[in-house]
Amino acid sequence: MTSRTSNFRASGMTWLADLKRLADAGESAVLVTVTAARGSTPREAGTKMVVTRDRFFGTIGGGHLEYRCLEIAREILGAEPVARIRRFEVFPLGPALGQCCGGAADVLFEAVAAQDLLEIDPSNAETPSVLVTPLATEGGAMYLRSGYPADDLEQMPCVTSEGGRAVLIERVCDDRTQVLLFGAGHVGQAVVAALAPLPFAVSWIDSRADSFPPEMPSNTVIEVVDRPTLEVDYTLPGAFYLVMTHSHQLDLEICEAVLRRGDFAYLGLIGSATKRARFNRRLLAKGLPADRLGRLTCPIGIAGISGKHPAEIAASVSAQLLAEREAQSLFEAREAPDRDGLKRNISGQGS
């Protein structure tokens, strides 16, 4: 079966998919972008929200800042003509906005015309590529540019000068974590729903085509395969695996395939401590080393949540995956050299 996601959603740029859909329907919209965040703010630079006259998609953090930005966006939508209007605002997040964050946010408002979106499809761009948005009132439309050095990508999003004008430059590469979810039962369906708004790209795998629901979240691709274990061979290193099929034997085979491969970031198996012990014995008998088995997470989910309802399991597992993703990001940041070839210090202290 094929993915129900668009190219835009496959790249993680859901705001672009929303704009494209609205443009196709002939509905005007304003793209709201946090271009800079100083001090404590609800969301970071690069956060976007799409606003129409009666709806909005995404969030820049809620509270009075978001309320005021919705007002401004709809003021723009009330003007004639709507297209090409661009406005820039600086919001101190203190008593004036009734928020106690104490920082400040620079926000760009731009009424995006349908023709502005025609060439912006990151799935067709060379990698690495960036989205360049002029900040001046008459700065022109946003556009893609490829060929940026990897070191420069690490500094984005950022506001800089290009050709004598201020521009916002953002990465458009997909930074979601790959999750292979084996099993389309009730718990699997609840987990897919819980992961839908989170930074994960889900491959949902089962041999039973009729087990999948008719509608699929935008971050999910379904794979109907006769031999689910083969999907492990085709996955890039560093993926997350969740195993919850209808068969304990199939669960064991998938776990064995992932553990033998070894280059995974997380392997979670649904079940009790008794199931874990039984699997350990059988996997040891198959020649897998004990230290490798220590990387298997079973039971899954965070400590302190013992509910067995699918939605409760899904909430607990989603929180665990977010924590694992954060830990992986911190580890990669510690290991990656900075622009001067030195190791980053996550704590911010000197070496």
123, two tokens: 């799935």
For domain 177-330, which architecture applies? 3-Layer(aba) Sandwich (3.40)
Q: Residue 296: which of 236, 243, 341, 334 has the closest Cα? A: 243
The residue behind tokens 């001046």 is 136
Asked if the model's pLDDT at residue 275 lies above 90, the reply is yes
Residue 166 has pLDDT above 90, yes or no: no
Residue 183: both structure tokens together: 């099993």
User: pTM of the entire structure?
Assistant: 0.64
The full 3-state SS of 187-220, as one line of letters, equals: HHHHHHHHHCCCCEEEEEEECCHHHCCCCCCCCE
Cα–Cα dist 138/43, whole Å? 27
Does residue 190 contact residue 314 with C-beta atoms inside 8 Å?
yes
Q: How far apart are CA 303 and CA 77, in angstroms?
A: 48
64 vs 231, more confident: 231
Mean pLDDT within 127-147? 74
| The predicted structure's pLDDT at residue 347 | 28
What SS3 class is residue 116? helix
Kindly list the domain boundaries of the chain, sorted by start residue.
7-171, 177-330
> CA 169, CA 159: separation in Å to the nearest integer?
6
What local confidence, expressed as pLDDT, does residue 90 receive? 77
Which residues make Cβ contacts (< 8 Å) with residue 135, sequence separation at least 6?
35, 86, 88, 108, 159, 165, 166, 167, 168
What gap in Å lies between CA 307 and CA 191, rounded to an integer? Answer: 14
- pLDDT tens-digit readout, 14-61: 788 788 888 888 888 899 988 888 887 778 888 889 999 999 988 888
Q: Name the band, by pLDDT with cuts 50, 70 and 90, for residue 279.
A: very high
Question: What counts of helices (H) and strands (E) characterise the chain?
Answer: 10, 15
- CA neighbor of 312 nearest in space, from 187, 220, 170, 198: 187
Over the chain, what is the mean pLDDT? 81
For residues 76 and 51, the answer to whether their CB atoms sit within 8 Å is no
pLDDT tens track for 300-325: 999 999 899 999 999 999 999 999 99
pLDDT attached to residue 293 = 95
For 22-40, b where at least 16 C-beta lie within 10 A, e where not — what string?
bbeeeebbbbbbbbbbeee
